[in-house]
Structure 1
């Protein structure tokens, strides 16, 4: 990929994340129309990366692109999100259970390296930096499961929940606690303790849903104070 291409890709990713934040935190409530021209003016970019970001959001299920009408924010709702996190927890628990039995020594090393990257990212103080390292950690578990279909399903749901998984990391102490949970997962995998790994990872995902609700509640309190 050329330097220009990388820059364009980073722009589209930054736009997607900004719009994810706006949707997840209610700046653009369900039913809102996301106008390309208005968004391009807001972010001072061309319509092309805006359009690409909206397509990615559509693939993630956050917006709906209606031909000849525009792009609209979907109404997911907290009960639906809770259900999605529950399914995500079971998918990842299945992945790590299989990974405990099937991971090669090289894949175990990759998991340890991914965890080390999370530790380094946490030290930057940026929840978003940690989130991107966190994706690498979970991907190492998917790969280690050696079940391509299961990994595909986990990645697809992870993508749909990306905005909410990223924002929950902004809750106080969440990154530190997440690191502790990751360490417990790594320890269980290296010990071959499938039951322990499965239980810890399931809890790790369910907590994310709870912390996202905490984040939304904190926003509501801040708006009342403001």
Structure 2
């Protein structure tokens, strides 16, 4: 993927996640190219990438639209995500090498630094590395691929979650328990904590949904 396309993907992901680009909305390649000051080629690359993530639907001869992902679908996808990550954590607690544990601890420290700086977007990228360290520690390539695929599809929503009040602090605190469980080899506890960490339900889901109008204004 080109640099232009990688940057555009993040920009358009964010626009979809905050509702600036609404479900079912047509995505005009020429308009997007003009908006971002690029040619249509990186825009087309980006839309293809977003389609592979399930965020965009490309229809033959009719162009691309934003995928219609309702609240119920989000809940269902996070439910599956929580089980995949729980399995990664359970296996990582049994299989991680000492070097991999050190990588996990380093990622955890980087999350702490971002939390203390109150930088939710920086925290998000460090958070990605944290979760990726757990996936790698599972030593199950098929599981890693499936988990990454769903992570990419939920990426905009996981990033927005971190902007909800107190979520940075709570996320780091939850990470801390996961790290301790994995390093001590307690697979069942690691699985339980990761399941609770990822699953978005009840108050957490309500907080995220309630924040969307404010986030939409911020993206305007």
CA distance in 2, matches of 1:13, 1:207: 27
Local SS of the residue matching 2:103: helix
Runs of 4+ in 1 over 4 A off after TM superposition: 221-224
Per the TM alignment, residue 21 of structure 1 is displaced from its structure 2 partner at its CA by 2.0
Per the TM alignment, residue 185 of structure 1 is displaced from its structure 2 partner at its CA by 0.5
Match of 1:141 in 2: 134
> Aligned pair in 2 of structure 1 residues 105, 208: CA closer, same or farther (>3 Å)?
farther
After TM superposition, the structure 1 = structure 2 runs for residues 93-132 of structure 1, keeping only pairs within 5 Å, are 93-132=86-125
What is the root-mean-square deviation of aligned Cα atoms in Å?
Answer: 2.1
For residues 141-161 of structure 1, give each alpha carbon's deviation from its aligned partner in whole angstroms, at most 9, with x where no partner exists.
111111111111111111111
Give 5+ residue unaligned stretches, structure 2: none
**Whose RCO is larger (CA < 8 A, sep 6+)?**
2
Match of 1:29 in 2: 22
Match of 1:75 in 2: 68
CA contact (8 A) 2:17 2:157 kept: yes
CA distance in 2, matches of 1:218, 1:13: 26
CA distance in 1, matches of 2:114, 2:45: 27
Match of 1:186 in 2: 179
Match of 2:32 in 1: 39
Local SS of the residue matching 1:170: coil
CA distance in 2, matches of 1:98, 1:216: 33
Give 5+ residue unaligned stretches, structure 1: none
Aligned length: 217
Per the TM alignment, residue 216 of structure 1 is displaced from its structure 2 partner at its CA by 2.7
For residues 72-128 of structure 1, give each alpha carbon's deviation from its aligned partner in whole angstroms, at most 9, with x where no partner exists.
111111101100000000011011101111111111111111111212233343211
Match of 2:77 in 1: 84
Q: 1:202 aligns with which of 186, 191, 195?
A: 195
> Aligned pair in 2 of structure 1 residues 35, 221: CA closer, same or farther (>3 Å)?
closer
CA contact (8 A) 1:64 1:74 kept: yes
Local SS of the residue matching 2:198: helix
CA distance in 1, matches of 2:53, 2:9: 11
Per the TM alignment, residue 196 of structure 1 is displaced from its structure 2 partner at its CA by 1.4
Match of 2:166 in 1: 173
Per the TM alignment, residue 162 of structure 1 is displaced from its structure 2 partner at its CA by 0.6
TM-score (norm 1): 0.88
Matched, 1:14 2:36: no
CA distance in 2, matches of 1:140, 1:101: 14
Per the TM alignment, residue 209 of structure 1 is displaced from its structure 2 partner at its CA by 8.8
Local SS of the residue matching 2:65: strand
Which deviates further from its counterpart, 146-155 or 45-54?
45-54
